[in-house]
Chains A and B, each alone.
Chain A
Amino acid sequence: MTARALRIWLFAVAALAYLCLPGRARAQTPVSLKTQVSSREVEVSEPFTFTLTALTDKGSSLPQNPSLSVPNGISVRGPSVAMQQQVTLQGGSFQQKFGISATWTLEAQRPGRYRIGPASVSVGNQRASGDVIEIQVSPPGTRPRPRGSDPFDPFGFGIPNLPGFPLGDDGDAKDDLPPFPEELRLPQAEEPIAFLRAVVTPARAVVGQQVTLKIFAYGARGPFRETNTSEPSREAFLAHVIVENSYSETTHRVPIGGETWHAKKVREVALFPIRTGKLVIGPMRMGFEGRGYPSTGPHRGLVRQSVPLTVEVVEPPEQGRPPGYRVGDVGRFALSANVEPREISAGDAVSVVAKLEGTGNLPLDLKTPQKTGVTWLEPTSVDEIEPRGSSIGGYRKLTYVVRIDTPGEVDLGELSLPYWDPERESYDVAKVPLGNVKVRPSAGPAPNTDAKDDPLAGVLAPRKTLGPVPARSAFLGDRLAYWIALFAAPLGVVGIGTGRRLGQRVFRRWNERRASQDTLAKTALSRAKEALQQGAHAEAASQSERAVLAMLEAKLGIRARALLKRELSARLESEGLDAKLAERVGELLERCDDARFTGSTDAEGASALVAEAVSLVRALGQTSKKP
């Protein structure tokens, strides 16, 4: 085989080997995994934790979807997932990694040796697995217990309350109870035998302000252990655990409602709300395990649950808010900084190490001063944040690399952090001046600031004064009067026109009718007079009657012919005619009837009849109908 053929063969083998490698090995995302267990030797039913920490470089995909494979005989709860950040110094430069830590709580159900894991997470399109850890599980009660903090129960098995027994809880012992924390005091028990009590303070906070959740467990049947726990949900909060479990907490004897209860703090968590609203902290469930506590199932203990709590979260006031304040920066902080070196060449960089100390929600970065020719790169951070009593505090060191391109004495300005101080209920600004850096002109070429490729260069020039604004009048369409006027005007014209025509028509008809009755009456009177002259007395009486009847219809709208004579007077009066006049009308009509039907009227009588008719027609002409 020639050397060339050998090279080709080696290349082919290498290429084949590369192709045969699983995709995962070829394009592996750098992810660092760390697997831990809380104890490698446990007893049956003794809870222990299994934690996988997965970190990737800044900018890579974050690990997610953690899962854990466990053998038969091991029960698993969780995981609870927390965000992680790690800063390391490698090769003279800082490296930042981000990721998660997933913690499962496990319990073995029978003795033996178990291989737990591996736990795995997905990173991008791949899955990365951690280590397998072996656990030795002993039968219950075979391992020496950690010394309990209850002075009356050094072995942690629990002492039942036996009447008369000196170490039990009887009435005589109540007066001699050792002192206990006030936060455990209660006027009465919330549930029989055992209960969990959750307290959050304060119940009203601003975004980023620490609220402390404390959960206490109370048992009436002597000492107990925590088992079968489910943690309270708290999605709307960043959490920092102060008391992780109750194993190392002291059990106190507390008098409640005339009885002595065993009580201890089982959780304390500093919570930082991340949004506004009524945020809910879910209930915590816990099993009370010990003699005297009836278990509700295998290894479940006596299960109790705390009540869910609500925290009202608002933003800090806008009044007096300093520029640059970011919602969530809450606490009390102090800033210090160190700049090195103080003399550089243009284009070189200085290091600014800022130390932010205090209590509260320490922000991840600071407001950096900006200046033309000065470029601040993303900081690296190292922190030590831990509980200080019931508060979370510590420090965060942020290291910035600042490149300066402008020669001369450059004032770096100041680093600042505006924050809300919940204790003083006011804003404050932590700041530190950074001083000057002497920048020598660089020997190299000046940085390229050519803006010809920048389409936005010079597009907008700032406006230094506030110019006039067109007066904005209210929208016409928002006024009800506009819409009414819009349609009422034409409708009004239509209405007026129609009304006018209708009125005219009615008036005309009324006039016509009135005119016809008047004319009729006058004609009848003329004819009556003519008949009188001709000696036709009956005709004169008939025409007189017609004239009066026509006038009654014209003025009162009464058709008197249709009425009986005896009804007439009453009807005329009811229509508003004077009683005397009505009587005269009645008499005249009767006389007319007599004259017409008997023909016995003489000239004098007929003349009087016509004269009375003329008088009545005139009188009726001046009357009007009763409204």
Chain B
Amino acid sequence: MIRRSLVAAALASSLLVTPGRAGAEAPETALSEALDRLAKGAHDDAIDRLESLADTGASHPDLSYDRAVAYVERARSPNARPGDLGRAVAALEETLLARPDDAEAERALERVRGEIARRRARAGAEPVVAKTTLGRAVVGVVTETTWTLLAAFGSALLTLGLALRSLSRSERRRLAATTGAAIGALILIVAGGLSYAARSYRLGSQPAVVVVGDARLLDADGKPLVQKGGIPEHVSMPEGTSLFVKQRQGTLLRIEWGSTEAWVQASQVRLLTRE
């Protein structure tokens, strides 16, 4: 318990020294005020405070989680605004990016996404499923860190095998060393390649979430895509959809959504903070 408190205090102090926050109130004070207003039903005020905190660079999975709470509460209130649930999804995704094992956030994300789907279905909209690309699917089987560690293991196995093969005079040992080296080489090539791909995906795109009812897919000139013969697969993305942003050009963002690549208005998606 003491350890937990110390960690929390250390985190809070690390947030305090985040650049660009000089003069701003402490995150825990701001959080406390925001939650106080949320409890009184002042959703806008609570959201304003939590968003201001995020704007000043304070980044913490629990701040993102509370932002999601505020958006969900407003979505349930008479003051609901379009995109509230999408923003809640974005905040929960941000929580999970910083703390992947947050089971509560994961459950909440499922429920919010379920509610978005329910509301869409009630409005007569078809459910939308975007197939992810093979590359992202394979790379996403395990985390980037796992791929890098696997590649390192492959390299070590290959190195050891080659060394033993070189030093050993016994035929049996040489055979065992050769087999080990071959397996190591295979792991090195596959895991190394996937590690590199994961790194490229991470550095070449930023996760984001749709925060409007329907984000229209556009071409590079900003004109809406028109579906002809089932191509492209989709012409709009529903609220709460996760996607990747690859490029920014003025007010347009080039996005990758499943196997679809298109452009959208920047104001229709929220970019997620990784750190």
Residues of A within 8 A of B207 (CB): none
Residues of B within 8 A of A374 (CB): 41
- Scan residues 83-98 of chain B and give those whose CB is less than 8 A from a CB of chain A: 98
Whether A486 pairs with B152 at a CB distance below 8 angstroms is yes
Residues of B within 8 A of A375 (CB): 78-79
One of A372, A462, A490 near B69 (C-beta < 8 A): A462
Residues of B within 8 A of A413 (CB): 42
* Contacts A375-B78, A489-B159 given; does A468 touch B108 at CB 8 Å: no
CB distance from A501 to the nearest CB of B (A): 9
* Contacts A370-B41, A462-B66 given; does A468 touch B8 at CB 8 Å: yes
Residue of B nearest to A416 (CB): B45
Whether B155 pairs with A486 at a CB distance below 8 angstroms is yes
Whether B45 pairs with A370 at a CB distance below 8 angstroms is yes
Residues of A within 8 A of B275 (CB): 472
Residues of A within 8 A of B42 (CB): 369-371, 413
Determine if B232 is an interface residue (Cβ-Cβ < 8 Å): no
> Interface size on A (CB < 8 Å)?
52
* Contacts A324-B45, A478-B199, A490-B155 given; does A465 touch B8 at CB 8 Å: yes
Whether A464 pairs with B145 at a CB distance below 8 angstroms is no
- Scan residues 57-85 of chain B and give those whose CB is less than 8 A from a CB of chain A: 60-63, 65-66, 68-69, 72, 75-76, 78-79
Determine if B270 is an interface residue (Cβ-Cβ < 8 Å): no
Whether A323 pairs with B7 at a CB distance below 8 angstroms is no
Whether B65 pairs with A463 at a CB distance below 8 angstroms is yes
CA distance A374 to B162 in the complex (A): 76
Determine if A469 is an interface residue (Cβ-Cβ < 8 Å): yes
> Interface size on B (CB < 8 Å)?
78
Determine if A318 is an interface residue (Cβ-Cβ < 8 Å): yes
CB distance from A116 to the nearest CB of B (A): 35
CA distance A459 to B105 in the complex (A): 10
Interface of A is mostly: loop
CB distance from A475 to the nearest CB of B (A): 6
Residue of B nearest to A470 (CB): B99
One of A322, A456, A477, A496 near B115 (C-beta < 8 A): A456
A interface, CB within 8 angstroms of B: 275, 318-324, 367-376, 413, 454-457, 459-470, 472, 475-478, 482, 485-487, 489-490, 492-494, 496-497, 500
- Enumerate 27 A-B pairs (CB-CB under 8 Å) in ascending A order: A320-B23, A367-B44, A370-B45, A370-B79, A456-B75, A459-B111, A459-B112, A462-B38, A464-B35, A465-B28, A466-B8, A466-B12, A466-B31, A469-B11, A469-B99, A470-B99, A476-B148, A476-B149, A477-B148, A477-B196, A477-B198, A486-B152, A487-B188, A490-B185, A493-B159, A493-B163, A493-B166
B interface, CB within 8 angstroms of A: 4, 7-8, 11-12, 15, 20, 22-24, 27-28, 31-32, 35, 37-38, 40-45, 48-49, 51-52, 55-56, 60-63, 65-66, 68-69, 72, 75-76, 78-79, 98-101, 108, 111-112, 114-115, 118, 144-145, 147-149, 151-152, 155-156, 158-159, 162-163, 166, 181, 184-185, 188, 192, 195-196, 198-199, 202, 251, 275
